[in-house]
Amino acid sequence: MEFILQMQAKSEARMAKVDERMAKADERMEKADKRMDKFDKRLEATLKLVQTGMKMLVKIDQKLLALTDAQRKTDRKFDRLIDSWTKRRTNGHQPKN
């Protein structure tokens, strides 16, 4: 009978250690889950920043193209103005040499 009680006591001691180890493993899992959640939030925030940055780049590119087109038109008009100033105007009369 005493042997059975001793074995039961050892078994209960082992079970207590197993329960303790399981509790520690559960704590580690909770900490790991919290770290993963935090990492996921950071990753999502980074993704949003990159997407917003890309949208901004597209808008800037479109504005730059519009500005380039406007500059070309301005350059053409300016060239025509300079050409008109450099040509001799005779006002319908024969040019004098």
Residue 22, SS3 per DSSP: helix
The Cα–Cα gap between 97 and 90 comes to: 12
Interval 35-52: pLDDT, tens: 999 999 999 999 999 999
Interval 7-36: pLDDT, tens: 888 898 999 999 999 999 999 999 999 999
Q: Rounded to a whole number, what is the largest CA-CA distance in the chain?
A: 141
CB 88 within 8 A of CB 95: yes
pTM score:
0.56
Q: Which of 71, 38, 19 is nearest to 27 (CA)?
A: 19
Residue 17 identity? K
